[in-house]
């Protein structure tokens, strides 16, 4: 598997940049710079992997909230407030 796909996969598992660097045999400081820069393929892969997993978690949270889970309802309320503030 190529490096970009691995970065996306590992970021989606919420691994740290240092952990990802070890697994892809990259220099941690260089990987961090690329990710923080926001314009590289590495950065896009990292953010895409992370966001795809966040989407999955939020879908599950919303589903639990709709079924009456108080903890999930509280989290969804926070998501709603955060979204409204960002509009």
Number of structural domains the chain divides into = 1
What average pLDDT is seen over the chain?
97
Give the DSSP letter string of 16-85: -HHHHHHHHT--HHHHHHHHHHS-SHHHHHHHHHHHHHHHHHHHHHHHHHHTT-HHHHHHHHHHHHHHHH
Contact 39, 3 (CB under 8 A): no
- Give the pLDDT score at 1: 77
Contact 9, 46 (CB under 8 A): no
- Give the pLDDT score at 85: 96
Average pLDDT over residues 34-42: 94
Average pLDDT over residues 31-60: 96
- Give the pLDDT score at 21: 98
Q: What is the pTM of this model?
A: 0.86
Residue 4 to residues 9, 31, 68, 75, 77: CA-CA distances in angstroms? 9, 11, 39, 32, 35
């Amino acid at each position: 598997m190529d490096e970009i796909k691995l970065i996306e996969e590992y970021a989606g598992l919420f691994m740290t940049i240092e952990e990802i660097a070890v697994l892809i045999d990259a220099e941690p400081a260089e990987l961090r710079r690329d990710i923080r820069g926001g314009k590289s393929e590495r950065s896009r892969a990292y953010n895409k992997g992370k966001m795809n997993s966040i989407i999955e978690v939020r879908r599950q949270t919303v589903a639990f909230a709709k079924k009456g889970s108080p903890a999930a309802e509280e989290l969804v309320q926070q998501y709603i407030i955060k979204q409204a503030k960002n509009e």
